[in-house]
A and B are shown apart, each in its own frame.
Chain A
Amino acid sequence: MSGHQSWFDLNLGISALKYIGEIKNGNLTAEEFISKTIERIQKVDSKLHAYLSINEQAVEQARSIDKKIKAKENVGACMGMPISIKDNICVKGTKTTCASKMLEDFIAPYDATVVSKLKAEDTIIIGKTNLDEFAMGFTTEFSAYGPSKNPWNTEYVPGGSSGGSAAAVSALECIASLGSDTGGSVRNPASFCSVVGLKPTYGLISRYGLISYSNSIEQIGPITRTVEDTAFLLNIIAGMDPHDNTTIDNQNENYLNDIDSGVEGKKIGIIKEMTHEGVDKQVSAATNKAISNFEGLGATFEEISLDMVEYSVAAYYIITATEAGSNLARYDNLRYGYDFDSEGYEFNSYLSKARKNFGPEVTRRMILGGFVPSAGHAGKYFLKAMKVKSKLTAQVNEALKKVDMLIAPTVPILPFRFGEKIDDPVALFLVDINTVTANLTEKPAISIPFEISGGLPIGIQLLGKSMQDKMLLQAAYALQNTVKLPEVPI
């Protein structure tokens, strides 16, 4: 091997920024790092099942990037770093299954905008990560290919729906990952696996090439081991895209500049409805500690009440089911799907039969999505849900006039064991109570790893003003630097 660093000392736990530094200094080659990453995946992924597929050409791609570096040609900012992509985001020429049997053979014919942007910066897409089928769930237990495991304790769920992404980043199976967040699907697994997860302002990142679930609230977001790495990735993937007309002009903001600005003089609101009732004692203690760490850095706090939070999960499920019912109607097994000949079937019976390849949760949400906006029921369910969304948005906007950002634990409970909640839909609903507000109100929110309690991670969430993702990252960076967390045990 050509690097100066010994092969065996190579640390897969380095951040993206450190990786780039080491490559630039000639202490490391992309090939060494990618080969070691693949060895790591081979070693731990049989236990974790973070990946659904692996890029077989990764080492070859790393070699060609090393060649460019050696020849002093132009090299993209990522310099061959391994990034994984949630398997509901299209990577041209590779399987994109959404962890569904329905798409088990689907080969994406184009790259998502986020993927093109990463490739243009010489990222190596190391593999596609596991999720709850079509991103509907919070544990990965609804993946048609089996759940991912939590690297901190493999008897526990990694969170979801981007559970494979968070597990892979946490277990050093890649440097960073992209997930998608419709009601907490980036932040929840980030919290459960002790990594950083950002749900950006609605419109900040293009969703062209993200397989649609609930367009009015979902966003793609980075999952990384440090806050700086999230800022670095955001610099690459954020911005306007003619293919997604919900994208917003961010004036080429540099999220990494001044990340160490601190929180001196910042006012932070503690969300009452997310920090008292139903919050686990240890999670509550960690939240109080985070508040006191922030106070030590010069931030001030006041309690803020958002009474619509109580209704947010119901509103979230009604809105997402309605949009899913319409988005997933495209899976007729004619244009997308698996091998099942239509010979001898009449149109409707063929579609009904073909859709049996949807898993149980997707089936239920499709039915809910037909029910809640239907004539005779829309007034009681869909319309009310939309009104809760409006009122919650007004309440959050009002709160953010008084304070710079809001704080709450990312998830009110600790990671739980497999099977513990999967049979009780309402118990599973309440796992999302602290995360759906950011989606429903289009605000940025980030989960920062803060504590390991009895071997299980706890994340703290900050929610900020629209397009103030940078201020959120600065505060997250400050909080991150107040704690030193143990290394992942796997």
Chain B
Amino acid sequence: MVSKEEIEHVAKLMRIEIDDHVVHIDRIQKMIAYFDILDKANVESEELIVREQTIDALREDKYIPYDGKLIENLKNYKGSYVRAPKLV
């Protein structure tokens, strides 16, 4: 069983605050416990499928200016700057 502390630690790393033990931690524990079913799948020797994309299939590396006023979609901005909280 994955511990409550471990889940809280991951939540912190994902920058998510959780305060309801029953709504979140118990259910996440149940979900992770269900994933144990994979231990029976016997797939250790399977190769992974890799999606290949050749360079010529990519679109041209060209700058296309966007003329929409995206900044106006923001809630907190000044001029052309996004307002963000202090980093340090």
Contacts and interface: CB of A to CB of B under 8 A. Distances in A.
The answer to whether A and B interact is yes
Interface of A: 105-107, 109-110, 216, 242-243, 245, 308, 310-311, 314-315, 317-318, 325, 329, 333-342, 345-353, 355-356, 358, 360, 363-364, 366-372, 374, 380-381, 383-391, 393, 425-426, 429
B73 interface: yes
B37 A245 contact: no
A311 B38 contact: yes
A346 B88 CA distance: 7
B67 to A, nearest CB: 11
A335 B16 contact: no
Nearest to B83: A342
B41 A334 contact: no
B32 to A, nearest CB: 7
B44 A387 contact: yes
B1 interface: no
Contacts of B51: 216
Nearest to B84: A334
A325 B49 contact: no
B30 A426 contact: yes
25 contacts: A105-B75, A109-B70, A308-B41, A310-B37, A311-B41, A314-B35, A314-B37, A325-B14, A336-B73, A346-B88, A352-B16, A352-B17, A358-B16, A363-B18, A367-B14, A367-B16, A368-B32, A371-B6, A371-B7, A371-B32, A384-B39, A388-B38, A388-B43, A390-B46, A393-B49
Contact of A356 (B6, B14, B17, B48): B17
Contacts of A110: 68
B46 A387 contact: yes
Nearest first, the 8 closest Cβ-Cβ pairs linking A and B are A342-B85, A387-B43, A387-B46, A350-B85, A370-B14, A345-B85, A351-B15, A370-B10
B24 A245 contact: no
Given A347-B87, A390-B47, A381 B27 contact: no
A187 B37 CA distance: 25
A381 B86 CA distance: 36
A313 to B, nearest CB: 8
Contacts of B44: 387
B16 A384 contact: no
A1 B30 CA distance: 59
Contact of B84 (A347, A349, A387, A425): A347
Interface in B39-88: 39-41, 43-44, 46-49, 51, 53, 57-59, 68, 70, 73-76, 82-88
A391 B43 contact: yes
Contacts of A310: 37, 41
Contact of A245 (B2, B11, B57): B57
B34 to A, nearest CB: 5
B85 A346 contact: yes
Given A364-B24, A370-B11, A242 B59 contact: yes
Given A347-B84, A371-B28, 18 more contacts: A110-B68, A242-B59, A314-B34, A314-B35, A329-B14, A335-B82, A348-B15, A350-B85, A360-B23, A363-B16, A363-B18, A363-B24, A364-B28, A368-B31, A374-B10, A386-B48, A387-B43, A387-B46
A363 B38 CA distance: 24
Contacts of A370: 10-11, 13-14
A429 B38 contact: no
B86 A388 contact: no
Given A335-B74, A366-B16, A371 B2 contact: yes
A429 B30 CA distance: 11
Contact of B24 (A334, A360, A371): A360
